Structure 1
Amino acid sequence: MKISTRFDGGSVIVKDLSNPADIRLALRPDNAADFAQWFYFRLQGAAYQNCVMHFDNAAEAAYPEGWEDYQACASYDRRNWFRVPTAYENGVLTINHTPLSNSIYYAYFEPYSSEQHLNLLGEAQGSGLCQIDDLGSTVEGRDINLLTIGNQVESDLKVWMIARQHPGETMAEWFIEGLLARLLDPQDPTARALLDRATFYIVPNMNPDGSALGNLRTNAAGANLNREWAAPSREKSPEVFAVREKMQETGVDLFLDIHGDETIPFVFAAGTEGIPAYNERIAALEQQFKIALEAASPDFQDEYGYPKDEPGQADMRLATNWVGQQFGCLAYTLEMPFKDNHNLPDDDFGWNGQRSLRLGEAMLSAIWQVSGSLR
């Protein structure tokens, strides 16, 4: 048997591989930080053997409560992913699975590779409706790319969307793929109507370094990008620095920051209740937006989520809070589950890339519904 991780996003520590019924593994922390939860590895040579894989340090994960009711993801071809039996007991996460081929991949969530990211950019540009700009370079020299879709005229609404500040939250880029597919479809009436009214600025992957390195939450310098917005630096958080500069150049009328949540098994949104600039207008817009998204997708709900910040108590290092304060606009963090969505459970696949993609498609309908009220 062999376990390997020398591929894009790969991450695990192998402690003992001598017995397929008692494989001992450990979660590997981010390359320059202590966050550990993401894993992605290839197991070879174990076809038709019952493999019991124990993560001995699961209790030391960034979000150990995330293991409750969690099922790991597996794939033979890295295109079709399914859930496999997983249990968390006495601080140890255990995957119990009999692979039907000699090569199989296991991951915390369905990955979205750097190659897929580049293909996404290429397909978007190939539509003839999208302009790709380079905003700068990451700590390790990867590109920070911005997709601009629309007429780019002064009167247009400015809709900004970013994804994967936390690189292990791959569902965020699946979401962007779905949204782009619909937005760039010339036969889609909602997309056409929106592009007559708005210009979209989309960063599909805010953290290319962390994505390639197999990190959960940080970039190559160990920075949690969603705690850098109040004072980003070119050295530690060039990704946020570059995107923030471009936002100040264009302005923002609607901002969506796309994420995944390890512990809450629902799709939900978090607003800007705690920022100083929060007012009745923004509160009404938030309510309008949530109603519109609930109508567009039964996967979204507003009963479960994060506690709302008290007035004036918002953490201004977070993207949604900083943007909402800076531009006085509707700003939301959208969260999708690593587990299943308890509103519409799926035993075979749980929450996955395709469901994230469909939510991205549905988001356009919600944006259309609120677009007339954003200014």
Structure 2
Amino acid sequence: MKISTQFDSGSIEVVSAERFDDIQLKIRADNASEFTQWFHFRLQGAAYQPCVMRFLNTGETAYPAGWEDYNLCASYDRVNWFRVPASYDGNIMTVEHTPLANSVYYAYFEPYGWERHLDLIGEAQGSGLCQVTDLGTTIDGRDINLLTVGHEVSSDLKIWVIARQHPGETMAEWFAEGLLRRLLDWQDPISRILLEHATFYIVPNMNPDGSVRGNLRTNAAGANLNREWLSPSLERSPEVYCVQAKMRETGVDLFLDIHGDEAIPYVFVAGTEGVPGYSERIAELESAFKHHLELASPDFQDEQGYDKDKPGEANLSMATAWVGHTFDCLAYTLEMPFKDNANLPDDDYGWNGQRSLRLGEAMLNPIYAVLERLRAQQR
């Protein structure tokens, strides 16, 4: 029996792997911070053996509530992922699974690999509708790429979508892939009409270093990028610094920041109610956007989610608050579950990459619905 992690986003600590019925593991912290939640490892040599895996420190991780009613992800081929039942007693998560092959992968959520990320960029560029721009370089030397879809004329509305500020929230890049694929489909009438009036600026992976390193929440320097928007730096958070600079150059009329939530088993959004200058115009846009997203995807709901910020109490170091305040625009954080959507549960797959991708496709509908009202002078 062998457990390994030396691959893209691999992460686990092996305490003991001497017996199939007593595999003891610990979830490893991000490389330069104390955030602990993401895992991704390969188990070999255990075909048809009743394995019992105990994750000894789940009660001490960043989001202990994330393990309640959680089932982990598994795959034999790294393409098709399914859920394996788990139990959690408040301290230790226990997984009982009999692999049907000698090589099986387990992960906190269905991974989105760096090679797939590069393939997505290449495919988008090959469509003839997308320009790839290098905004800068991460601490580990990886590219910070922006995908621009549209005519880039001054009259265009500027729609920004960023994903995966927190690298372990891989559902965010699955979402970005779905949105991008539909946007580049010239046979789709909504895509065509959107691109007649808007230019899309999409960053499918805001945190390349953290993604490859197997971090949950931070980049190579230990920075939580979604707390860096007030004062990013090239030394600590070049990803935010470079994206912010481009935003100031283009302007922003609509902003979406795509995430995953560890504990809440629903799809929901968080807006900008707490920013200075929050207006009735933005409130009306938010309501219209949510209404049309509910129509476009039954996976979305607006009853469960985060508490709304009180007026003037928004944290402007977070992307949605900073962008909404800086550009006086409609701005939303979209959250998807690590567990399952409790409104539409799927025992075999839970919430997964394909469901995230489909939600990304559906997102074009509410964007289209509010398009003509995004700028105050266009009302």
Letter in 2 for 1:243: V
Name the residue aligned to 2:86.
Answer: 86
Say yes or no: does 1:367 pair with 2:367.
Answer: yes
Measure the CA separation in 2 of the matches of 1:342 and 1:366.
Answer: 23
Measure the CA separation in 1 of the matches of 2:243 and 2:221.
Answer: 17
Measure the CA separation in 1 of the matches of 2:173 and 2:312.
Answer: 31
CA deviation digits over 1:192-248, x for unaligned, max 9?
000001000000000000000000000000000000000001100000000000000
Q: The residue matched to 2:14 in structure 1 has which SS?
A: strand
Letter in 1 for 2:3: I
Measure the CA separation in 2 of the matches of 1:85 and 1:6.
Answer: 25
Measure the CA separation in 2 of the matches of 1:338 and 1:53.
Answer: 20
Name the residue aligned to 1:111.
Answer: 111
Name the residue aligned to 1:74.
Answer: 74
Name the residue aligned to 1:50.
Answer: 50
Name the residue aligned to 2:144.
Answer: 144
CA deviation digits over 1:94-129, x for unaligned, max 9?
111100000000000000000000000000001000
Measure the CA separation in 1 of the matches of 2:95 and 2:78.
Answer: 18
Name the residue aligned to 1:229.
Answer: 229
Letter in 2 for 1:349: Y
Name the residue aligned to 1:128.
Answer: 128
Measure the CA separation in 2 of the matches of 1:95 and 1:373.
Answer: 50
Letter in 1 for 2:232: P
Name the residue aligned to 2:295.
Answer: 295
Name the residue aligned to 2:276.
Answer: 276
CA deviation digits over 1:123-156, x for unaligned, max 9?
0001000000000001111000000000000000
Name the residue aligned to 2:326.
Answer: 326
Measure the CA separation in 2 of the matches of 1:55 and 1:66.
Answer: 13
Q: The residue matched to 1:32 in structure 2 has which SS?
A: coil
CA deviation digits over 1:302-359, x for unaligned, max 9?
0000000000000010000000000000000000000000010000000000000000
Name the residue aligned to 1:218.
Answer: 218
Say yes or no: does 1:255 pair with 2:232.
Answer: no
Q: CA RMSD in A?
A: 0.4
Letter in 2 for 1:125: Q
Measure the CA separation in 1 of the matches of 2:37 and 2:96.
Answer: 18
Name the residue aligned to 1:358.
Answer: 358
Q: The residue matched to 2:373 in structure 1 has which SS?
A: coil
Q: CA deviation at 1:90?
A: 4.0
Name the residue aligned to 2:195.
Answer: 195
Letter in 2 for 1:54: R
Name the residue aligned to 1:167.
Answer: 167
Q: CA deviation at 1:10?
A: 0.2
Name the residue aligned to 2:316.
Answer: 316
CA deviation digits over 1:57-107, x for unaligned, max 9?
111110000000000000000000000011111400111110000000000
Name the residue aligned to 1:65.
Answer: 65
Q: What are the ranges of 5 or more consecutive residues in structure 1 without an aligned counterpart?
A: none
Say yes or no: does 1:339 pair with 2:352.
Answer: no
Measure the CA separation in 2 of the matches of 1:282 and 1:151.
Answer: 26
Give % identity. Answer: 71
Measure the CA separation in 2 of the matches of 1:95 and 1:145.
Answer: 38
Tell me the TM-score normalised to structure 2 length.
Answer: 0.99
Letter in 1 for 2:315: D
CA deviation digits over 1:3-40, x for unaligned, max 9?
00000000000000001101000000000000000000
Measure the CA separation in 2 of the matches of 1:277 and 1:155.
Answer: 25
Q: CA deviation at 1:366?
A: 1.0
Count how many residue pairs are aligned between Structure 1 and Structure 2.
375
Q: The residue matched to 1:372 in structure 2 has which SS?
A: helix
Measure the CA separation in 2 of the matches of 1:291 and 1:98.
Answer: 44
Letter in 1 for 2:185: D
Q: What are the ranges of 5 or more consecutive residues in structure 2 without an aligned counterpart?
A: none
Measure the CA separation in 2 of the matches of 1:203 and 1:96.
Answer: 38
Measure the CA separation in 2 of the matches of 1:198 and 1:20.
Answer: 56
Measure the CA separation in 2 of the matches of 1:268 and 1:55.
Answer: 29
Name the residue aligned to 2:239.
Answer: 239
Name the residue aligned to 2:180.
Answer: 180
Say yes or no: does 1:286 pair with 2:292.
Answer: no
Q: The residue matched to 2:182 in structure 1 has which SS?
A: helix
Q: The residue matched to 1:35 in structure 2 has which SS?
A: coil
Letter in 2 for 1:361: E
Q: The residue matched to 1:146 in structure 2 has which SS?
A: strand
Letter in 2 for 1:64: P
Q: CA deviation at 1:372?
A: 1.0
Measure the CA separation in 1 of the matches of 2:163 and 2:181.
Answer: 16
